[in-house]
Structure 1
Amino acid sequence: MPGKETKFHPDGTPIFRIVTSAGEAEEHLRVIRQAMERSTKHSTLSGLSGVLAGCYALAAAVFAPTKLGTLTDKLLFVALWGATLVLALVTDVLLTKRRAAKVGKTAFSALGVHLARAVAPGLLAGAGITLFHLLHPEALGTYLYGLWILCYAVALLAIAMFSRREVSIMGWAFLGAGIIALLLPDNFIIGPRALMALTFGGFHIVYGAWMGLKYGW
């Protein structure tokens, strides 16, 4: 096995070392990961975007159909929540850029690309399930909303390793809520509107308020 090789500048300071042990390599990867975790996304998370996303969700819950017996009602429900998701994502991008400028950071770096790639599978799965629901409205029934919550939970947990601990906590909260939603009977007192308001509305407002108070708006 080759030994460790160190090269030096003329003044005797080392230039680099060739890492040959698994332990050393793991330590270097740990340091790199910590550096990534301290970089742009950590310092540019916007608590305000979380609060606004929650408010958008509450507004959508107010205007969403109370009963989903007809195809028109189901299409309206899906369209309304789809528009809410797009609005929340756009808001997050804009406020992240604003906060990054405030703290002198770059909002969308290589780490931002990793975050986008991490969140994409969960969101795409939700989009695929929604498309299936539109083509076969009776197949999923009220299970659609629990599946939406689970897909969002997967997206949050996927980016948790690159983000603050609070994102992971919210991801697990969504995961638990999604599982409970799938297990609830159709005639349970919490209907689709209340379920979406509680999770996408309430969870986001609590998360955003905490992030804003702890790390800044």
Structure 2
Amino acid sequence: MRGIVALTLLLTMGLGNAGTLPDVVIFAGDSIQIKVPRRDYTKVAENIAAAGSDAENSGVLFDIVLSKRHPSGGNESDTGTVCRETIATCQSIGRGVVPYWLAENGNLRIGSPTAPVQEISLSGRRAFEAFHLCAWNQNGVNMPVGGQCYTLVLPLKNKVVSLSFLLGRNAGCLNYERCWWQELKKARWIADNVI
């Protein structure tokens, strides 16, 4: 049934020829299985995160790199993390690596202390999302908040997955669903296909 849903999504999202899967890069690593559209990404890589590389946390925290076919804003990849613990544990061992944390009041923060976090559903799975400013590099000039980023956090049964995407240059648009609809559609499709 999941294969039928994935093929249906491929058709409805225009992510390629659903009859064949060469338009999708499928990556299965130690911590994650993920599908990405081949027209947008060349490969997916997984590495044990530096914060999780000590003996006590070995194999708990992983970095995910989605290499872009067409780099933008000085970024050659979108990124993610996988942590084989709860959000509370992951944010403490992955401080500085995972893009999420629990504020003093217990609320989940993603990407920025001031970015609003929304709960959404991806095929019945609970997920959290935030739109936050991020770096943008144009013609060698780095603008620390010149980009518009989008991060999803998926607390799954035995792990927490985060995926961060550079949507484009920050143009001051606050109607994210309208301004970035194609990029959001792709990002949510990728997150929806995480196992």
TM-score clears 0.5: no
Q: Higher relative CO (CA 8 A, sep ≥ 6), structure 1 or 2? A: 1
Query: Which category of TM-score, normalised to the shorter sequence, fits these structures?
Result: under 0.3
| TM-score when normalising by structure 2 | 0.27
State the structure with more CA Rg.
Answer: 1
Question: More strand by proportion, 1 or 2?
Answer: 2
